[in-house]
């Protein structure tokens, strides 16, 4: 009998090695190499020379049709997916423990089952009684919602064949195992093989499957990076445990935009949509305080107004500290360097703390001007006008560069009662705004500060 071969697989990145190593040479993590047995499967004759092999087709001769999406009762959820759930798609949802992934999917399952879709909710972490307790709290009463507590993929496939559901939820992929794979559930090999099998089921049966993925301490989805490449869409459910707001963000979507964001509020009866997030982010804003500035940021196709706060104080150490929450840390020292060089604000011996209020994360260049003005306002201890909104990208030479979708940003600011919008002067070309708001174009960071701190 042939000796079984073994390999060592990194549980963080999926790197394979013939011998054990303390540190993974691919991702650099320590003590992540786990021994796994190599199972040789019999070759399947479905490749070249097989009768079932696919043949090349001319792209002009391929006929397509618009897929009818499955829509839920949550427009926020539908928009993140690009308009609804695509039949035959495989969607991965990740998030911190207790953030509300299972709650969201159970509510979505109930809404689809209410529309006479047959839904199968498979829980590998909870019993059917535990799922029923959550369902009672969320007022889930749909008859077409079936619950299964199972971790064996072979038995799960048998139940799928028997029930023939229209929508499937796997909670979570790290608990599912395949008999043919000798490694433990949650290992790189098990996650990869189970996801591949679920993808085949989704494509052949034309049924959408949502799978829940655990995250690491850094916030990334646990398992190999290949997992995110295999699925059709990757959604991250974000939020702080001490805040009631949750953000569903799409980072990959083969059927829609990858910049969409849906905002929900966690209540006792479950998740509820936030239809106007700008009001939520600005409702606790303190007006007339130095360092507070409002920016209109684009999250996919939706403009969102958020408050940026800065605190500049003399340092007590030899090296000044720079801290940022909600924006890229490297952007803070860069903008402070521009303010020192182009405006003359010497902040070398000042600690800088910059925060985006509300727990949202902003990563577009259009927030540069608001961050820079917020830092200058705190440094001068002079508040900005309460009804100003600032939009623009700041270059290293101090110029203000144009941004995209300026009309939507201005209209959102006017809807919330803002009186002035300070924008790049290049965006004034061909600008058509039919709302009651004053639009001011600036060319440099110095001009923007002069307009912002001018006497009312």
Tens-level pLDDT at each residue, the chain (456 residues): 455 678 888 877 778 888 999 999 988 889 888 888 766 554 454 444 444 567 898 888 888 777 789 999 999 999 999 899 999 999 999 988 888 999 999 999 999 999 999 999 999 999 999 999 999 999 999 999 999 999 999 999 999 999 999 999 999 898 999 988 878 888 888 888 899 999 999 999 999 999 998 876 666 666 656 788 889 999 998 876 667 788 898 889 998 888 788 889 888 889 999 888 888 888 888 888 999 999 999 987 789 999 999 999 999 888 899 999 999 999 999 999 999 999 999 999 999 999 998 878 898 999 999 999 999 999 999 999 989 999 999 999 999 999 999 999 999 999 999 999 999 999 999 888 888 899 999 999 999 999 998 654
CA 361 to chain centre: 10
Query: Is 97 annotated as contributing to ligand binding?
Result: yes
Q: Are 80 and 261 in contact (CB under 8 A)?
A: yes
CATH number given to 69-275: 3.40.50.300
Nearest C-alpha neighbor of 248 from the set 270, 264, 267: 264
Q: What is the pTM of this model?
A: 0.77
Indicate the domain borders of the chain: 6-37, 69-275, 280-452
Q: Are 205 and 227 in contact (CB under 8 A)?
A: no
How many other CB atoms sit within 10 Å of the CB of residue 255?
A: 16
3-class SS of residue 376: helix
Pairs from 215-219 (Cβ < 8 Å, separation ≥ 24): 215/94, 215/95, 215/96, 216/12, 219/96
8-state DSSP, 59: G
What is residue 46's predicted lDDT score, i.e. its pLDDT? 44
Query: Is 101 annotated as contributing to ligand binding?
Result: yes
Query: Is 115 annotated as contributing to ligand binding?
Result: no
Query: Is 102 annotated as contributing to ligand binding?
Result: yes
Around 364, how many Cα atoms within 13 Å sit in the side-chain half-sphere?
A: 19
Handedness of CA 26, 236, 142, 86 (dihedral sign): negative
Helix (H) and strand (E) counts in the chain: 11, 21
Query: Is 344 annotated as contributing to ligand binding?
Result: no
69-275 and 280-452 have identical folds: no
Query: Is 368 annotated as contributing to ligand binding?
Result: no
What is residue 165's predicted lDDT score, i.e. its pLDDT? 96
Query: Is 95 annotated as contributing to ligand binding?
Result: yes
What are the angstrom distances between the C-alpha of 297 and each of 252, 259, 302?
Answer: 20, 12, 8
Dihedral of the alpha carbons of 248, 249, 250, 256, in degrees to the nearest 10: 80
What is residue 71's predicted lDDT score, i.e. its pLDDT? 94
Q: Are 93 and 246 in contact (CB under 8 A)?
A: no
d(CA 87, CA 68): 8
What is residue 185's predicted lDDT score, i.e. its pLDDT? 86
CATH number given to 280-452: 3.30.230.10
What are the angstrom distances between the C-alpha of 65 and each of 68, 138, 166, 167?
Answer: 9, 37, 20, 21
What is residue 3's predicted lDDT score, i.e. its pLDDT? 57
For helices 153-163 and 188-205, the axis angle rounded to 10 degrees is 10
């Amino acid at each position: 009998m042939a000796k079984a071969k073994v390999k060592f697989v990194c549980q963080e990145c999926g790197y394979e090695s013939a011998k054990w190593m303390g540190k993974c040479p691919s991702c650099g993590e320590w003590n992540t190499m786990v021994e796994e047995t190599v199972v040789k499967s019999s070759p399947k004759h479905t490749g070249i020379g097989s009768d079932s092999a696919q043949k090349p087709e001319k792209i002009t001769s391929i006929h397509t049709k618009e897929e009818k999406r499955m829509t839920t009762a949550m427009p926020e959820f539908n928009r993140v997916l690009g308009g609804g759930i695509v039949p035959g798609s495989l969607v991965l949802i990740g998030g911190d423990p207790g953030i509300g992934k299972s709650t969201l999917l159970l509510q979505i399952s109930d809404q689809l089952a209410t529309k006479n879709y047959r839904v199968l909710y498979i829980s590998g972490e909870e019993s059917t009684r535990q799922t029923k307790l959550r369902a009672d709290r969320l007022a889930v009463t749909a008859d077409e919602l079936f619950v299964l507590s199972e971790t064996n993929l072979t038995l799960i496939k048998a139940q799928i064949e028997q029930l023939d559901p229209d929508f499937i939820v796997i909670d979570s992929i790290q608990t599912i195992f395949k008999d043919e794979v000798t490694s433990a559930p949650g290992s790189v090999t098990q996650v990869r093989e189970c996801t591949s099998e679920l993808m085949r089921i989704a494509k052949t049966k034309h049924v959408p499957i949502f799978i829940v993925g655990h995250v690491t301490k850094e916030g990334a989805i646990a398992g190999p990076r290949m997992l995110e490449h295999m699925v059709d869409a990757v959604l991250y459910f974000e939020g702080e445990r001490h805040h009631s707001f949750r953000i569903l963000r799409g980072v990959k979507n083969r059927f829609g935009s990858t910049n969409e964001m849906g905002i929900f509020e966690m209540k006792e009866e479950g998740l509820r949509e936030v239809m106007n997030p700008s009001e939520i982010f600005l409702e606790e804003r303190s007006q007339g305080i130095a360092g507070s500035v409002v920016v209109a940021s684009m999250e996919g196709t939706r403009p969102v107004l958020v408050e940026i706060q800065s605190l500049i104080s003399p340092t007590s150490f030899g090296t000044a500290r720079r801290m940022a929450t909600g924006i890229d840390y490297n952007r803070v020292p860069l903008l402070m360097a521009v303010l020192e060089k182009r405006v003359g604000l010497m902040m070398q011996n000042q600690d800088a703390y910059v925060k985006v209020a509300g727990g949202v994360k902003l990563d577009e260049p259009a927030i540069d001007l608001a961050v820079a003005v917020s830092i200058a306002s705190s440094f001068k201890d002079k508040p900005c006008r309460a009804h100003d909104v600032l939009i623009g990208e700041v270059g290293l030479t101090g110029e203000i560069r144009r941004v995209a979708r300026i009309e939507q940003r201005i209209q959102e600011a006017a809807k919330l009662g803002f009186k002035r919008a300070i924008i790049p002067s290049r965006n004034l070309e061909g600008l058509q705004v039919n709302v009651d708001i004053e639009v001011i174009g600036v060319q440099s960071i110095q001009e923007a500060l002069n307009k912002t701190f001018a006497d009312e």
